[in-house]
Each structure stands twice: as structure tokens, then as C-alpha cells.
């Protein structure tokens, strides 16, 4: 399956462009090398959780929201977009309701 831009990557690229920053400039502030940032933006790689934290801080993003996107993308990258993944996500959704009610 051909890789496509990830939601995280698209969002980060959009925010970088709004700030009129280059990959190099973001790299210098976040301590994430430019080639890696490029791969993240193009959906070729997901950031590590540590990288995600740095990017959230730089772009003033909510870490929790980005972790949710990260988790969803990890599932999709690992299992693909198909009926089985959809049904598995539905089951997880149903099973998590009792957990959330306990909180």
C-alpha cells in the first residue's frame, strides 16, 4: 500500500507553513533533524512520543489531542484501512465505555 500523508504530518506541515518556518528552523528549535521532520510531514514516519511532545510544545498544540491522532495512525499503519480494523475499533469503543464510566 502506498504511503500517504498522515493527519499528524499534514497538520504539522500546515502549522509550519502558517508560521513561515523552514524544516531547518523547526529542527533547530525542536532538536529533531530536518530529514526526520520531512518524513513525518509526508506521512513516511510517525514521530516518537518524545518528538511529538517537542512538536506540540513548539506549535502550541494539545499533547492529548496529538496522542489520540498518533494512536489512531499507529493502528491504521499497522492494520490498514479495512473492515477488520473497523470492526476491531468498534469493539474497543464498546468495551471502553464501562471503563470511562468508572472514572
What is the reported pLDDT for 1? 38
Axis-axis angle for helices 83-102, 63-79 (nearest 10): 140
What is the per-residue pLDDT for 102? 80
Which superfamily is assigned to 7-102 in CATH? lambda repressor-like DNA-binding domains (1.10.260.40)
User: Mean pLDDT in runs of 10 for the chain (103 residues)?
Assistant: 66 97 98 97 94 97 93 91 94 86 77
- pTM given for the model: 0.80
61-95 burial code (b ≥16 CB/10 A, e <16):
beeeebeebbeebeeeeeeeeeeeeeeeeeeeeee
> Quick one: cell of 86?
473497523
Amino acid at each position: 500500500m502506498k504511503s500517504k500523508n498522515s493527519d499528524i504530518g499534514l497538520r504539522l506541515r500546515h502549522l509550519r507553513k502558517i508560521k513561515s518556518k523552514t524544516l531547518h528552523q523547526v529542527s533547530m528549535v525542536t532538536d529533531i533533524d530536518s530529514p526526520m521532520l520531512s518524513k513525518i510531514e509526508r506521512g513516511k514516519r510517525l514521530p516518537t512520543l518524545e518528538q511529538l511532545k517537542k512538536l506540540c510544545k513548539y506549535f502550541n498544540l494539545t499533547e492529548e489531542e496529538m496522542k489520540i491522532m498518533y494512536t489512531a495512525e499507529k493502528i491504521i499503519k499497522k492494520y490498514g484501512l479495512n473492515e477488520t480494523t473497523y470492526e476491531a475499533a468498534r469493539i474497543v469503543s464498546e468495551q471502553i465505555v464501562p471503563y470511562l464510566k468508572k472514572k
